[in-house]
Chains A and B, each alone.
Chain A
Amino acid sequence: MTEASLTAVPVVEAQPKPPTNSIFRHAIYVVADNPVTGLSFGLFVLIAVCALIGPYIVPYDPLASDTSATLQSPSLHHWFGTDLLGRDIFSRVLAATRLDFTIAVASVALVLFMGGLAGIAAGFFGGWTDRIIGRISDTIMAFPLFVLAMGIVAALGNTVTNIVIATAIINFPLYVRVARAEANVRREAGFVQAARLSGNGDFRILLVHILPNIMPIMMVQISLTMGYAILNAAGLSFIGLGVKPPTPEWGIMVAEGATNIISGEWWVAFFPGGALMIAVFCFNLLGDGLRDLVDPQRRT
């Protein structure tokens, strides 16, 4: 598999200058190749736009309660209905996009930094570095991941930042594994030897020559784990960790609507849950599409 990915990755030679034109053509190719990937890319843009401007375009204040309009079913005034305190659910779902998206992006960025660097160091240096980093990943993998995340948030303290950290830690072994394998096959590659001969130190080779080369594979990993990161964060806030009411966030909104489900007010939990589902679905499809493109051997 590793050899196959070597040939499949368009190897960007040593200069880190990104060929913008070819990236753009690549993107068009992705969308044209598979309409489902195109659709998921469209959804991704929609989610990103909601995260950016959502809080400014909401029709109602997501925090303002209205005791004269509690638990109304979806209507023209309140597209997604209102909750127990009369807050407009459409506005809350829209405003929540930013927080959920930020948590996912931040945790994935954090794990890309930690896991990516640890992984290429393990693959490149081998020996003790590899053994220690491998042992750390193994220990993390010995826990059921969501349970470990609960424990970490409980220990570090019940805040959104710690949800980001916990989500990053449980994804750490995945990133280490991918980065390690990719760095390992490139360790003795021609361009690395050339760089070494020209007098580059180990760290410079790692950061300037190997890191840019494994980025395509890591990008796929990112979009595959984004969905999981959102699910994990929403799960933690569903059980009451991290995000505090009345902050709009999908997981906590589903938790608030859980009591209404039994008495038939389905919309309180349905719309935030649906938004969450669509976001995860979108990231998973996008990840699959990207992987098929970058690494066709692993297509299932």
Chain B
Amino acid sequence: MLTIAKRLLTVIPTLIGVVIVTFLLTRVLPGDPAVYFAGPAATPQSIAEIRKSLGLDRPLPDQFAHYVNDLAHGNFGNSLSTGRPVATEISSRLPASAELTLSGLILAIVIAVPLGIFAAVKQGSFIDHLCRVIATAGVSLPVFFTGLLLVYIFYFNLGWSPAPIGRLDAFATAPPDITGFYLIDSLITGNFETFRASLSQLVLPAVTLAVFSLAPITRMTRASMLAILASEFIRTARASGLNDRTVILTYAFRNAMLPVVTTLGMVFSFLLGANVLVEKVFAWPGIGSYAVEALLQSDFAPVQGFVLTMAVLYVALNLLIDMLYGVIDPRVRLEA
């Protein structure tokens, strides 16, 4: 319990850093938001007025306090082009991004972990070589390129998957909003037609993300299994006559998972970024495509809200990973 409390405390300076950076991104760097807001036909007078109304004429610490106060009230500002509050827009789009990212990650883990274990157990075999090729090729593939290749093969050539036009095709209706995850919501309400439709839309982008994150997970699983399999307690277990299955799954696997879980933090950093590109390729209505649209119109509030949301999510995920550590390795818990 104490470890968890201690770990929670370390999040505070990180979050402060994140908020300061997102604040600095708009205020200190060159480019005057007031000029943007005023538009091309602005007079110096109207710019000065807008500056005053935006609070840009006050000293920087004052502005920062104002910004933090807004954040504390869940106010991320309004989008310049749509006029809608950024916070509601982001929270309504977040489930789409989360569903996509999590499906991609789960798919990657389900493939990568067994692959890495096989490669380590049968070192030098065909699977081992396959593993090495995947590890090097996977990190070299630009994620948007993989996505387009998959669209070409599975939509245009084979016709197996629907057109890349978002979470549902035009004929299906969205399930009622319970969790925001279409797959789960449609199952809860027993609407299998919608479930099938949303699953078929989800497969390609999820596979794209999975291909991207396969490489680091496979590589780390293999390396850490190899290290564990060479250690003395494994030799003892084998010498005691335990069969391969018990040795590998019960003894080696659990110990080998620690470095893999640590790698997940890095994988998340890549995934959240890759998510933006995949959303653009598949016209996925998540927060990434929202930020990209806003970016191209120099609409800063949504971008700032997006960067902040992503960073907070990432900090939370890293926290979760550290907690998982304690679940996997009792020694970490005892240290408190």
Q: Which residues of A contact B155 (CB under 8 A)?
A: 262
Supposing A139-B14, A143-B21 touch, asked if A269 and B148 sit within 8 A by C-beta, the answer is yes
Listed stretches B189-197, B200-208, B239-247, B269-277; interface member = B269-277
Q: Which residues of B contact A285 (CB under 8 A)?
A: 136
Contact yes or no, A138 B17, CB < 8 A: yes
Q: Which of A138, A143, A156, A238 has the most CB of B within 10 A?
A: A143
Contact of B269 among A144, A262, A280, A288 (CB under 8 A): A144
Q: A154 to B291: give the CA distance in the assembly, Å.
A: 10
Q: Is A111 an interface residue (CB 8 A)?
A: no
Q: Which residues of B contact A152 (CB under 8 A)?
A: 25
Contact yes or no, B300 A154, CB < 8 A: yes
Q: A263 to B155: give the CA distance in the assembly, Å.
A: 10
Contact yes or no, B25 A273, CB < 8 A: no
CB distance from A142 to the nearest CB of B (A): 5
Interface of B is mostly: helix
Supposing A281-B137, A300-B219 touch, asked if A146 and B30 sit within 8 A by C-beta, the answer is no
Contact yes or no, B156 A264, CB < 8 A: yes
Q: Is B292 an interface residue (CB 8 A)?
A: yes
Q: Is B296 an interface residue (CB 8 A)?
A: yes
Contact yes or no, B277 A235, CB < 8 A: yes
Contact yes or no, A273 B291, CB < 8 A: no
Interface of A is mostly: helix
> Which of chain B's residues has its CB closest to A255's CB?
B144
CB distance from B295 to the nearest CB of A (A): 5
CB distance from B88 to the nearest CB of A (A): 20
Q: A281 to B138: give the CA distance in the assembly, Å.
A: 9
Chain B interface residue count, CB cutoff 8 Å, equals: 57
Q: Is A147 an interface residue (CB 8 A)?
A: yes
Q: Is B18 an interface residue (CB 8 A)?
A: yes
Contact yes or no, A139 B25, CB < 8 A: no
Contact yes or no, A273 B307, CB < 8 A: no
A9-31 CB contacts (< 8 Å) to partner B: none
Contact yes or no, A258 B148, CB < 8 A: yes
Contact yes or no, A240 B295, CB < 8 A: yes
13 further A-B contacts with Cβ under 8 Å, apart from A147-B306, A151-B306, are A139-B20, A143-B18, A143-B307, A147-B273, A147-B307, A150-B307, A155-B300, A157-B31, A227-B139, A254-B142, A255-B144, A258-B148, A281-B140
